[in-house]
Amino acid sequence: MIALILMLACDGGTDDGTDKAPVDTATTDTTDAGTTDDTDSTATDDTGAALDPFCDDAPVVTWENWGEGFMVERCSSCHAASSAERNGAPDAVNFDTHDEAVALSDRVLARTVDVGDMPPSGGVTADDLYLLEVWLSCWEDPQPGTGVNDGDDSTPDPEEDDEPYLSDDTDVDLPSFDAEAVGAALGAAMTDARQISAVPVVAGYFEATAGMDETCPGWLNFDGTEYWYDYCTTLDGTTFDGYGAHVLFEDYPLGDGNYWDGYQISSLGSVTTPAGDVFEAAGAAYVLWTEASDGGLIYQSYVEGGFSYDGPAAAGTWLEDNLSPTLSTYAIAYPGFGPGADDGNAIVLSGQVLVEDASVAAVVFEELFIYDETLGSPCPSEPDGMISVLNTSGVWVDLVFDGGQWGEAVDPAVCDGCGSAWYQGNLLGEVCADFSGLTDWGTNPWE
Ligand code: HEC
């Protein structure tokens, strides 16, 4: 059971960018309201006009390079032949293959782009809605005879992106690289990154907006989501400027067999409390948690955009530190696990965090995964995945770590807490860091 959950954790991240977070309902419904609308009006071309400007500028989107991943991510929990819990989705409506998906393209566009009620939880980002529309209306069943991108479905060669580390280019000027300084900065950044979550953003939002009353702010409904949209001051002196929305989750099924609690907010604007504390937001954040049937405590968080707050709810949290994270976190704890009754911990991080250090300015995690000895990791001192490091002279270096995925055997020789550092296909050296900040956290990753 543990294995299953952890595999879900890793899978969940395998092909998702931060913009494909599982539950960003309100993001689409509110923040992106304008964008979605615009896309719709240009794109939905019921007349079937021969030269569709929408498709002329459109990127190449195919089943192979995007569609399949999107379907797996957003639809297959209910719409796959192998789905364990279809949640009432019709037996005949599956998106396992290109042909199945394309056969229903009209319905997919109708439900996901036009009406927006598939998936039922919503949350498809404006970017994904755009790509879905481009894929199905420009690259599939290309309106016969119109010639719109007809016949040219050349897919960018995936190999090119998959092998960034093989280069024969010996002419690259290698940047100077202080592996030791980078390693030290990384160690500190691990604890910071692990502690970042949407919790203070959500708490700050609710604290700052607590003064809302019948007079202010005014509310609108967009696609079923209520959001405030106003510039006004309440009777108690709270000033609202912009818009915002929130969603509460209670026993919410995410399709992974667990029932989740949590909160999500999205907002663009500011709220000033009667005490003069200012909550400023331009983005979305959510936090979800659940207890699995085997006792695992699972946490998810997603923060994207800029947030700041100087009220009590932000005190002592990362919100005070100007880290501008775009980060998604999936963490699991097994309290008192195994013979030693230690807390078992595992975490997956994706996204970007700024670092305040003389040599490192920012780090980007790509599916960085690590689990501890308590949960049986053969390599608890090293994560698996990539960390890209931006140094203070603006050079990106990629660090590749081989701690192994869940249950994977790891050659003890590579399990040394060190990763190889690459710059444009050239090996720069080795960076060793202390990753214990990612796994030593007991039962709550954010404390
Ligand atoms: C949580 C489960 C769930 C997920 C996830 C989900 N669906 Fe559905 N889907 C349903 C259910 C239930 C129905 C039948 C009820 C209905 O039509 O509203 C359905 C019906 C459909 C239908 C057939 C009805 C029609 O209007 O033609 C289509 C097409 C569809 N879904 C597309 C999608 C697409 C595309 C996605 C992903 C972007 C998706 N669904 C994700 C549960 C889901």
- The tens digit of pLDDT for each residue in 89-111 reads 988 899 999 988 998 898 999 89
- Nearest Cα residue to atom 19 of ligand 1: 89
Task: Tell how far the Cα of 118 is from the centroid of ligand 1, in angstroms.
Answer: 5
| Residue 380 pLDDT grade (very low, low, confident, very high; cuts 50, 70, 90) | very high
Q: Which of 291, 322, 353 is the last residue of a domain?
A: 322
Q: What is the mean pLDDT of residues 376-395?
A: 92
Pure H helices in 177-319: 179-195, 199-208
Same domain, 111 and 203: no
Q: Which of 133, 155, 177 is the last residue of a domain?
A: 155
Same domain, 406 and 343: yes
> Does any domain span residue 332?
no
What pLDDT score was predicted for residue 426? Answer: 83
DSSP string, 65-120: IIIHHHHHHHTTTTSSTT-S--TT--TT---SSHHHHHHTHHHHIIIIIII--SST
| Residue 140 pLDDT grade (very low, low, confident, very high; cuts 50, 70, 90) | confident
Same domain, 11 and 138: yes
In this model, does residue 266 exceed pLDDT 90? yes
Task: Tell how far the Cα of 242 is from the centroid of ligand 1, in angstroms.
Answer: 33
Can you give the residue range of the structural domain that contains 38? 2-155
Contact criterion met (CB below 8 Å) for 327 and 18 = yes
pLDDT in tens, 158-170: 444 444 444 444 5
Same domain, 288 and 244: yes
Same domain, 37 and 55: yes
Ligand 1 pocket test, pick from 25, 72, 102, 111 with the greatest ligand atom count within 8 Å of Cβ, gives 111
Task: Tell how far the Cα of 362 is from the centroid of ligand 1, in angstroms.
Answer: 40
What pLDDT score was predicted for residue 52? Answer: 62
3-state DSSP of 374-439: HHCCCCCCCCEEEEEEEECCCCEEEEEEECCCCCCCCCCCCCCCEEEEEECCEEEEEEECCCHHHH
> Does any domain span residue 327?
no
Q: What is the mean pLDDT of residues 297-314?
A: 94
Sign of CA dihedral 49, 54, 56, 60: negative
What pLDDT score was predicted for residue 46? Answer: 40
CA–CA gap between residue 194 and residue 329 (Å, rounded): 8
Q: Which of 295, 322, 349 is the last residue of a domain?
A: 322
Task: Tell how far the Cα of 89 is from the centroid of ligand 1, in angstroms.
Answer: 6
For residue 9, the SS3 value is helix
* Closest atom, ligand 1, to C-alpha of 124: 38
Q: What is the mean pLDDT of residues 261-284?
A: 95
Q: What is the mean pLDDT of residues 134-146?
A: 65
> How many structural domains does the chain have?
3
| Residue 411 pLDDT grade (very low, low, confident, very high; cuts 50, 70, 90) | confident
In sequence order, the β-bridge partners of residue 78 are: none
- Nearest Cα residue to atom 25 of ligand 1: 107
What pLDDT score was predicted for residue 36? Answer: 36
pLDDT in tens, 237-264: 999 999 999 999 999 998 889 999 999 9
- Give the residue from 355, 352, 381, 375 showing the smallest Cα distance to 364: 352
Same domain, 135 and 22: yes
What pLDDT score was predicted for residue 172? Answer: 66
> Does any domain span residue 331?
no
> Does any domain span residue 303?
yes
| Residue 174 pLDDT grade (very low, low, confident, very high; cuts 50, 70, 90) | confident
- Give the residue from 289, 383, 405, 304 showing the smallest Cα distance to 351: 304
Same domain, 110 and 245: no
115-to-122, 224, 254, 414 alpha-carbon distances in Å = 10, 11, 21, 51
Same domain, 423 and 350: yes
Instruction: Record the tokens describing residue 264, joined without a space.
Output: 């999500």
What pLDDT score was predicted for residue 126? Answer: 84
Neighbours of 172 (CB within 10 A): 11
Question: Residues lining ligand 1, judged by CB closer than 6 Å?
Answer: 74-75, 77-79, 87-90, 93, 104, 107-108, 111-112, 118-120, 255
Same domain, 201 and 189: no
> Does any domain span residue 350?
yes
- Nearest Cα residue to atom 20 of ligand 1: 89
Task: Tell how far the Cα of 72 is from the centroid of ligand 1, in angstroms.
Answer: 13
- Nearest Cα residue to atom 8 of ligand 1: 118
Same domain, 144 and 227: no
| Residue 65 pLDDT grade (very low, low, confident, very high; cuts 50, 70, 90) | confident
Tokens 């510039």 sit on residue: 231
The number of helices, as runs of H, and strands, as runs of E, in the chain is: 12, 13
- Nearest Cα residue to atom 35 of ligand 1: 108
Ligand 1 pocket test, pick from 28, 77, 79, 117 with the greatest ligand atom count within 8 Å of Cβ, gives 79
In this model, does residue 6 exceed pLDDT 80? no
pLDDT in tens, 10-29: 333 333 333 333 333 333 33
DSSP string, 152-166: --PPP-HHHHH-TT-
Q: At what angle do helices 126-134 and 33-43 cross, to 10 degrees?
A: 10
| Residue 141 pLDDT grade (very low, low, confident, very high; cuts 50, 70, 90) | low
| Residue 280 pLDDT grade (very low, low, confident, very high; cuts 50, 70, 90) | very high
Q: Is 72 exposed, middle or buried (0-12, 13-18, 19+ CB in 10 A)?
A: middle
CA–CA gap between residue 278 and residue 314 (Å, rounded): 11
Q: Which residues make Cβ contacts (< 8 Å) with residue 32, sequence separation at least 6?
A: 125, 126
**Chain centroid offset of residue 22 CA:** 8
- Nearest Cα residue to atom 9 of ligand 1: 89
CA–CA gap between residue 334 and residue 32 (Å, rounded): 38
Task: Tell how far the Cα of 395 is from the centroid of ligand 1, in angstroms.
Answer: 45
Task: Tell how far the Cα of 120 is from the centroid of ligand 1, in angstroms.
Answer: 7
**Whole-number average pLDDT of the chain:** 81
- Nearest Cα residue to atom 15 of ligand 1: 89
> Does any domain span residue 426?
yes
Task: Tell how far the Cα of 119 is from the centroid of ligand 1, in angstroms.
Answer: 6
Task: Tell how far the Cα of 105 is from the centroid of ligand 1, in angstroms.
Answer: 12
Same domain, 317 and 250: yes
In this model, does residue 151 exceed pLDDT 90? no
Mark residue 145 as left, alpha or beta (left: phi above 0; alpha: psi -120 to 50; beta: remaining).
Answer: left
Ligand 1 pocket test, pick from 16, 78, 83, 117 with the greatest ligand atom count within 8 Å of Cβ, gives 78
Same domain, 287 and 389: no
